[in-house]
Structure 1
């Protein structure tokens, strides 16, 4: 959409992670783990590894700028052609699959998948891959190396990002700290940025609402302290909205939108599938596997672990498509490797099935277990363990609902479907080829009702020919009612939520191809041409990122506003008080670089948030693009300084106002420092700037209780270290206190 010249704003719930930022230890990983029922337990809960606990099936997905691509296994594999002509798909796709294949080709060009280069450029043949070859031969099933989104040579990529080559560290699914993994943060996102897209992270989108010909997107900024003041949601407006929160996220946003009055199909939340995902282990094999990620032990040298997945035993060619499956090997990422020796020994005792027998073999296995317990996971039984990841076809009859404000997944008994017994039989055969002990998914047992875990949640906003069969049409546009083919103009879903059935293999390329297809069709309707030629900037714009460490805080002020009073602030306050015309705001103020903030005579910062003014709007208004100036000196009155606030306000009714406020910092021997620094005199103008008609004046103050909460929100932003953050906050405090001292003590 950016390439087509549209103005694009991307709102991402997760944080931005750069290579080197991802967890390297179990403690670091635990801080990024978010166990929830839906993303709605707590507006501020945010972690890279998001686990949603359901009834019958649990979901793991990534949450960050780049989504699950940050923590997936990189596999780009085309679906079985038979999958795309099944009756669950809209006729426009079934009858013209070429448009989908064209979309996959465009995604392929952006993601640049390629197979692991065995015996090339210093890359060794991997032990885990050799074991898979042995398993495939034993099972009489086809084996091949997979195309994976990993870079195996040092280069500047096609969108201008410098990428190192893969070091085979094996830590793909906790986040690539090397930078070699071709996540969307390495291609699609910087390409969008290069074409003008604005990207905002840690924005928790809650629902969308139709407002005339536009859409309002309501959100909560994460981690800035607004929840301490029970502040309302903010919103932005757009001509078109594309939901890409994944199967769970997009479905929940639409559920919440329906609660706000948006008319939607009754199919919302239905046709949920885990894509037939099964996790298993070939534990304590007779041959080494070396499938343990290096974590902090990683170096620039090419190791012998390898990317998370490199090969597949492809069993999708069976006559019965629903019985087909793909069986792939995996690695245990370094940050969680320390838990593996005890965990695997325990699982092997509780549910393992040894595939070979014999007195000598028994003692060899015991000796390897002892080595793992004593020497760690790089030795013994864990070193000899193969991780299996299988995808197949479940019946796709899971359902998501919104219960008590939380997204719930309901699919009791899904793990008892016959296909999963077949999968475990294939895992047993693959393990037997290498003389190990087959361990199924730890939750797949009678005591836990054969619950499953999926890393490929699909459905919930599935495609259909009309609203009785789906939530969106073939290009992802949302149906506007419970039946028929009428559509919400400008509202789309583009992610795994639209897929109406399991695809029987890794769905990354299928999702990407459908999204590319939808974008092309939408732009064709708008009449905008789209160029796919890559022309990255010669040198990235270094000025787009702050060079120093900033500080932010959130404050609430309350008072009264006199509509029609344009002369005197106190009279405006009194008039507003008489008629109960209250005015309240909760604003977050940021300085991007404390060094620049202190040295610039204007001491500038930005502000955003919400304002409540019943005289202007019955609903909270959003303040965006605001400017804050702290302790500005007046050359004509050196004894006075000002704190200035200014922002454009957008009302839900579609009106625009301009807000200005100032605090008068002046030692008049009567007014004390507390009153000066906590009293704001305000003006509100009609329109988007101060040239509009003045509508009224008023006065706001900070209450003691709100000030205490405000102090708790002060924090450093984008610090390079904890010490750097402490220094930035201290510098802000010193600047503030110094100006107060100069004004009220030195005179």
Structure 2
């Protein structure tokens, strides 16, 4: 099955000029009156951070996929925007001359306010592999809730900084279960193509894939899938494939071929910094304040909203507290960040009119990991590109789509590793805990069982066909399944429930949700293209009708 039939990935080769011109002609016609002068304070992390007492037309909380789309389209339509980002700017090299730390040598850049790493694979060959690190506002947040650890990106670019770059559009026939209130014709005809173009999505050269040593692990995964009767599909990504070819040839510094994935990618990956945020900066209308955290949003006496923001240092301490007025506020702090903030604001009386759907409908995208021990005649390669580029599709028959993922250890492991996305019906809820002053999530680890069952529909059959067994040394001692985590948090402020059908929060004019919290728990594939496309759809409607 070809990639185009699997993923409806949209047109390829849309030029940057044509894309911006096409969208600008739509959005420029609805510029907000009274805000026609570009922001004077400068652009991006080099600009002065937001001042206490400032009055901004649009405040975007978060710089991930949804927030970046919102900021770009608002700015293109003539609106001055300020983006608030809890993490760092990630625009300055460290002592090693690189912005991001290596996967094998984590340091203070690697984790968000932790003194010890918490890697998705906690063990290898029977030994624990986590290491002590200096506590700092690093790039990867392993946020621990009851029953689950949620991995999130921290910094300008959000989750795009730390994900594997798999840019997958759901199969058209699955979309009704993903976003039932959204017009699929519009999404597949307009917004998915727009998102794929804006993100710089591309596919691997199939001929190069067949010979590249760094994808031997994926070819082994394909062979085993096909021998067991499963289709292997190439998956689009946001990696610069020309750069990866040069990495293999040894003519440029290695990035994916240096195993860079968990703690940022220094060269080849097209994170949001290189796509949407690059265009955001070019508008001259957007200022970004890194190391700032929104703690309160409440109606202001004279209209708009009073927003309270803590400024942080790299140790996580609050160095200043600022109060600003925003005419409109866009919640784009990610599924967890947005949900936690809205639940807190409703429970503590800042936004009491939010409805009872706030905090509900949260899911883990059915994430579960596993490894298989292959025979000696099936080596997976000591050099493994950290960017996955293929998957096994058993969604219709078994409820699982599995990435063939790398294990970039630098040694031959004779192992195949997978991250599965599954049909898991379980949904959790965020709730305010008055005793602790924090927001809890009521997920239970036992709720991963449907995901394990779905993943087994693929890997039990492959093991039976190949005469292989599951690895038991990756997630602890004699533990087969990585059922303790998710990389794909979704929901908590679900579209057409907590909000209207375009992300407007019920009860408050001028408050919007525009991130993954809108999606009720599952996308059937990696979610960031769907988050981006939905944001493109929603912000276009909001600009046309609300401004």
Task: Mark yes or no: TM-score above 0.5.
Answer: yes
Q: Which residue of 2 aligns with 1:453?
A: 485
Are 2:221 and 1:132 aligned? Answer: yes
Q: Which residue of 2 aligns with 1:388?
A: 418
| Contact kept? 2:306, 2:326, Cα under 8 Å | yes
Q: CA deviation at 1:260?
A: 3.8
Are 2:6 and 1:6 aligned? Answer: no
User: Counting strand residues as a fraction of each chain, which structure ranks higher?
Assistant: 1
Cα deviation, 1:582-605, whole Å, max 9, x if unaligned, reads xxxxxxxxxxxxxxxxxxxxxxxx
Within 5 Å, which residues of 2 pair with 1:424-443?
Answer: 424-431=456-463, 436-439=468-471
Are 2:156 and 1:97 aligned? Answer: no
Distance 2:509 2:179 in 1: 22
Q: Which residue of 2 aligns with 1:490?
A: 510
Q: CA deviation at 1:85?
A: 2.1
Q: Which residue of 1 aligns with 2:259?
A: 170
Closer/same/farther in 2, CA of residues 444 and 498 from structure 1, 3 Å limit: farther
Q: CA deviation at 1:425?
A: 4.4
Distance 1:448 1:316 in 2: 21
**Which of 49, 64, 69 pairs up with 2:155?**
64
Distance 1:214 1:441 in 2: 54
| Contact kept? 1:152, 1:165, Cα under 8 Å | no
**Which of 312, 323, 331 pairs up with 1:243?**
331
Cα deviation, 1:196-218, whole Å, max 9, x if unaligned, reads 21111111111211113212221
Closer/same/farther in 2, CA of residues 208 and 431 from structure 1, 3 Å limit: farther
Distance 2:475 2:243 in 1: 41
Within 5 Å, which residues of 2 pair with 1:332-411?
Answer: 332=407, 337=409, 377-379=410-412, 382=413, 384-403=414-433, 404-411=436-443
| Contact kept? 2:233, 2:390, Cα under 8 Å | yes
| Contact kept? 1:206, 1:256, Cα under 8 Å | no
Say which one has the larger Rg: 1
Q: Which residue of 1 aligns with 2:269?
A: 181
Q: Which residue of 1 aligns with 2:355?
A: 265
Closer/same/farther in 2, CA of residues 490 and 448 from structure 1, 3 Å limit: farther
Gaps of 5+ in 2: 1-73, 115-134, 245-251
**Which of 504, 507, 527 pairs up with 1:507?**
527
| Contact kept? 2:291, 2:311, Cα under 8 Å | yes
Closer/same/farther in 2, CA of residues 55 and 504 from structure 1, 3 Å limit: same
| Contact kept? 2:225, 2:462, Cα under 8 Å | yes
Cα deviation, 1:580-633, whole Å, max 9, x if unaligned, reads xxxxxxxxxxxxxxxxxxxxxxxxxxxxxxxxxxxxxxxxxxxxxxxxxxxxxx
| Contact kept? 1:476, 1:494, Cα under 8 Å | yes
Q: Which moved more, 1:515-524 or 1:116-125?
A: 116-125
* TM-score, normalised via structure 1 length: 0.54
Whose relative contact order is higher, 1 or 2, with alpha carbons under 8 Å and at least 6 apart?
A: 2
Q: Which residue of 2 aligns with 1:146?
A: 235
Q: Which residue of 1 aligns with 2:365?
A: 275
Closer/same/farther in 2, CA of residues 402 and 440 from structure 1, 3 Å limit: farther
Distance 1:14 1:435 in 2: 46
Where 1:236 maps in the other structure, the secondary structure is strand
Are 2:522 and 1:522 aligned? Answer: no
Distance 1:525 1:402 in 2: 34
Within 5 Å, which residues of 2 pair with 1:315-330?
Answer: 315-318=394-397, 323-330=398-405
Distance 1:521 1:144 in 2: 34
Are 2:112 and 1:34 aligned? Answer: yes
Closer/same/farther in 2, CA of residues 430 and 213 from structure 1, 3 Å limit: farther
Q: CA deviation at 1:60?
A: 1.1
Where 1:389 maps in the other structure, the secondary structure is strand
Where 1:489 maps in the other structure, the secondary structure is coil
Closer/same/farther in 2, CA of residues 173 and 325 from structure 1, 3 Å limit: same
Are 2:305 and 1:215 aligned? Answer: yes
Where 2:339 maps in the other structure, the secondary structure is helix
Q: Which moved more, 1:412-421 or 1:391-400?
A: 412-421
Distance 2:113 2:463 in 1: 32
Q: Which residue of 2 aligns with 1:312?
A: 391
Distance 2:481 2:263 in 1: 29
| Contact kept? 2:102, 2:259, Cα under 8 Å | no
Closer/same/farther in 2, CA of residues 149 and 228 from structure 1, 3 Å limit: closer
Distance 1:327 1:510 in 2: 18
Closer/same/farther in 2, CA of residues 460 and 121 from structure 1, 3 Å limit: closer
Q: CA deviation at 1:31?
A: 5.3
Distance 1:479 1:440 in 2: 47
Closer/same/farther in 2, CA of residues 471 and 325 from structure 1, 3 Å limit: same
Are 2:495 and 1:463 aligned? Answer: yes
Q: Which residue of 1 aligns with 2:452?
A: 420
Distance 1:83 1:104 in 2: 14
Are 2:90 and 1:17 aligned? Answer: yes
* TM-score, normalised via structure 2 length: 0.72
Cα deviation, 1:86-128, whole Å, max 9, x if unaligned, reads 3x8463x1xx222322221111111121122244499726211
Distance 1:207 1:29 in 2: 32
Gaps of 5+ in 1: 37-43, 156-162, 293-303, 338-376, 465-469, 481-487, 528-747
Q: CA deviation at 1:144?
A: 1.8
Cα deviation, 1:686-720, whole Å, max 9, x if unaligned, reads xxxxxxxxxxxxxxxxxxxxxxxxxxxxxxxxxxx
Query: Would you say how many aligned residue pairs link Structure 1 and Structure 2?
Result: 433
Distance 1:225 1:146 in 2: 38
| Contact kept? 1:100, 1:513, Cα under 8 Å | yes
Q: CA deviation at 1:524?
A: 1.2
Are 2:500 and 1:473 aligned? Answer: yes
| Contact kept? 1:413, 1:450, Cα under 8 Å | no
Distance 2:411 2:458 in 1: 27
Q: CA deviation at 1:222?
A: 0.9
